[in-house]
Amino acid sequence: MTPIDLRSDTVTRPTPGMLAAMMRADTGDDVYGEDPTVRQLEARLADELGLQAGLFVPSGTMSNLLGLMAHCERGDEYIVGQQAHTYKYEGGGAAVLGSIQPQPLEHQPDGSLDLAQVAAAIKPKDFHFARTRLLALENTMQGKVLPLGYLAAARALCDERGLGLHLDGARLYNAAVALGVAPGAISAHFDSVSVCLSKGLGAPVGSVLCGSQPFIDKARRWRKVVGGGMRQAGILAAAGLYALDHQVARLAEDHGNAERLAAGLQALGYAVEPVQTNMVYLNLGGRAADLARHAKGEGVWLTANPRLRLVTHLDVSPTQIERVIEVFARFPGRSALESSN
């Protein structure tokens, strides 16, 4: 039986159409700026996001790192959420490699940062303090979509206080599909945007950082410094182009599968958080490891966290969603979870 992998949407495999596009890719040496498929992908995403230029890199972690390093100098500070990927899950790269101080704030229940708290965290212009230069937001944030009105307010605050505004848009297209808008309606509020191609969009590798031409020129130098320059990378860029052409609208299917999964688990008595996109969160407390072992024995792969995340993606079908619900129904510890809820 094929395992059902709900650990992340990074586990997707290239589709036959994507593999064929990769085989046909026209390539060149991208470090010399001579790979036509990479150039096409960078221009395509920059155009869709309403920004001047793009930079293809191997990972979302590198894309965010280059963005932070292009915005900030040594001794500068960026304001960020406590649970944001750029702060918590990227190895402290901004501090380690960029000498950039993070100023983390707690997220609100909707995934946003309280803009009054952001304003209060901006340091005075005094040599005792790091220089606050940037606000970094994430959308989606743990599956939650930041409202357009909130993004406009964040933009206004950054303009008023002289800050740059960066978006970790790893799942930007999930947010756009959920809102029913073009991705440019979201990115319009930001100075720089990082888009990941290897999550819900289904490419095997790669992210694109977009911003102004001078900003991308600076980021391109940092890409070389951190070892992110690639040669005949058009093979990988072709997968990204295929994903943008064929695998954006279908994100709505992942969202629908997540809603069906949440409803089924809630009917079984599990404590399920509201679902907006392709992530379902359960509060399991100390039973997460037991549930993960039970599920793996039945062919469902999970990451055993007390706040358990289940992620739907293009390799999970509606039929498999029903199988997952059945596996959770057979968990021997379910009755204890129901009583604790």
How does DSSP assign 52-114, residue by residue?
SEEEEES-HHHHHHHHHHHH--TTEEEEEETT-HHHHSSTTHHHHHH--EEEEEPBPTTS-B-
Name the β-bridge partners of 102.
78
The CATH code of domain 14-246 reads 3.40.640.10
Question: CA nearest 51: which of 195, 152, 188, 150?
Answer: 188
Domain ranges, ordered by start, for the chain:
14-246, 250-340
Determine the pLDDT at residue 1: 73
The pLDDT tens digits for 4-39 are 999 999 999 999 999 999 999 999 999 999 999 999
Determine the pLDDT at residue 13: 95
The predicted model scores a pTM of 0.95
Determine the pLDDT at residue 340: 57
Please name the CATH architecture into which domain 250-340 falls: Alpha-Beta Complex (3.90)
